[in-house]
């Protein structure tokens, strides 16, 4: 025998690759991953193939929308069925961000939990109460379960996904102040940052909402047109960093929140057009939580979005958020308390699909 041979062991971790809304990624049972957070993050980075633009050595698709992970466990909370921890894995950096929620991936949590036997399926449809660990909020996911089994087949179409599937209804309960504890974390519906009026809002997801016109664009540009406009992207990031500070989120250089949304007038008085950033690229469709935030900013008086309505939107009702791949309908239930309107419940229809189940191999060094 000549020389030394290093044996690199691979660790097999069970997972299910799922599409949730317009995103996809592996779903793990929490007990299949290391309990230590730093160790867990190393495993997720290796599993996704980061850092690499194509994520060629892992499950990631070289895009923020396909570099997402869901970690699911039975909930210890009496009012919830499962806990859902979302992890955004950076494509080009060895970085895992668990501060935001992802409403698209959330739409696959109910089906996953049912198929894993974490929740008992009812007849016809089953409501799975999900506790989102990232934002400490509760979401009801209503899943179709004919004959007590999850089905992915149905007639519901969502923009950004080919074909039709069974609907998954997501009801976000008490989404206000998802991370910061208040709807307007800066204490104001409009802030001036570097001469630009912005709305810093936190409903389902902390957002920085800016009228597209105030940045010198129309607001109906394609994601690619916006991504290659380097001057615009630098301006948005500069505003975002200051918005993050003012929202009490600290230095957000290495965080994906707050997310920027550039808004413009929609097709009618109950719709608004949005270009949503993830945060360094424009989303080819729209994040669900982001759409809830944009829709909420549209119906709440005094914001940059509210002024774009041809007619004042009703207190609640359905708001259409137009995005590059089509539109997303957000149903808002509002109440007035102490003379101030509050978002009590936000609902959205999504779809999900199980793509593959098996195990992902990660180098033993990563665990």
User: What is d(CA 243, CA 332) in angstroms, rounded to the nearest whole number?
Assistant: 25
Give the per-residue pLDDT at 344: 85
CATH of segment(s) 10-175+352-366 = 3.10.310.10
Shared fold status for 10-175+352-366 and 191-336: yes
Give the per-residue pLDDT at 22: 92
Give the per-residue pLDDT at 8: 62
CB 88 within 8 A of CB 100: yes
Provide the CATH topology of domain 191-336.
Diaminopimelate Epimerase; Chain A, domain 1 (3.10.310)
Extents of the domains making up the chain: 10-175+352-366, 191-336
Q: How many CA atoms lie within 13 A of 128 on its CB side?
A: 34
Residues facing 250 on adjacent strands: none
Q: What 3-state class would DSSP assign to 261? A: strand
Which residues are within 8 A (CB) of 35 and not within 5 positions of it... i.e. 6 or more apart? none
Give the per-residue pLDDT at 336: 82
The token duo for 72 is 């699911």
Question: For 31-47, what is each residue's pLDDT tens digit?
Answer: 999 999 999 999 999 99
Give the per-residue pLDDT at 2: 47
User: What is d(CA 60, CA 223) in angstroms, rounded to the nearest whole number?
Assistant: 20
- Say what the pTM is: 0.79
Question: For 311-349, what is each residue's pLDDT tens digit?
Answer: 655 566 889 999 999 999 898 988 888 877 888 889 999
Extract the residue ranges of the chain whose pLDDT is less than 70: 1-8, 310-316, 365-367
Give the per-residue pLDDT at 219: 97
> Cβ of 320: how many Cβ atoms within 10 Å?
20
CB 285 within 8 A of CB 159: yes
CA angle 274-271-186, nearest 5°? 55
């Amino acid at each position: 025998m000549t020389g030394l041979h290093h044996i690199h062991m691979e660790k097999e971790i069970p997972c299910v690759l799922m599409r949730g809304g317009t995103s996809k990624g592996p779903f793990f049972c929490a007990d299949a991953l290391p309990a230590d957070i730093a160790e867990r993050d190393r495993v997720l980075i290796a599993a996704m193939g980061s850092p690499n633009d194509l994520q060629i050595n892992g499950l990631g698709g070289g895009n923020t929308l396909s570099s997402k992970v869901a970690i699911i466990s039975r909930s210890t909370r009496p009012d919830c069925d499962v806990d859902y921890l979302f992890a955004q894995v950076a494509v080009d950096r060895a970085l895992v961000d668990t501060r935001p929620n992802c409403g698209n991936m959330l739409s696959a949590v109910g089906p996953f939990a049912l198929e894993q036997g974490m929740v008992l399926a009812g007849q016809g449809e089953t409501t799975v109460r999900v506790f989102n660990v990232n934002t400490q909020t509760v979401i009801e996911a209503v899943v179709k379960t004919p004959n007590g089994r999850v089905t992915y087949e149905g007639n519901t179409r969502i923009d950004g996904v080919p074909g039709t599937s069974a609907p998954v209804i997501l009801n976000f309960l008490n989404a206000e102040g998802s991370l910061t504890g208040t709807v307007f974390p800066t204490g104001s519906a409009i802030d001036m940052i570097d001469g630009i009026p912005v709305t810093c809002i936190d409903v389902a997801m902390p957002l920085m909402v800016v009228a597209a016109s105030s940045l010198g664009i129309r607001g109906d540009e394609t994601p690619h047109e916006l991504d290659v406009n380097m001057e615009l992207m630098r301006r948005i990031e500069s505003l975002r960093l200051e918005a993050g500070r003012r929202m009490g989120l600290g230095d957000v250089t290495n965080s994906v929140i707050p997310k920027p949304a550039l808004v413009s007038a929609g097709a009618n008085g109950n719709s608004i057009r949005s270009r949503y950033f993830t945060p360094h690229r424009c989303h080819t469709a729209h994040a669900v939580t982001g759409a809830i935030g944009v829709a909420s900013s549209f119906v709440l008086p005094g914001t940059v979005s509210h002024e774009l309505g041809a007619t004042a939107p009703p207190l609640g009702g359905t708001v259409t958020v137009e995005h590059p791949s089509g539109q997303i309908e957000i149903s808002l239930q509002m109440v007035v308390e102490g003379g101030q309107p509050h978002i009590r419940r936000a609902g959205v229809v999504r779809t999900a699909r199980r793509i593959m189940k098996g195990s992902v191999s990660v180098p033993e060094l990563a665990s």
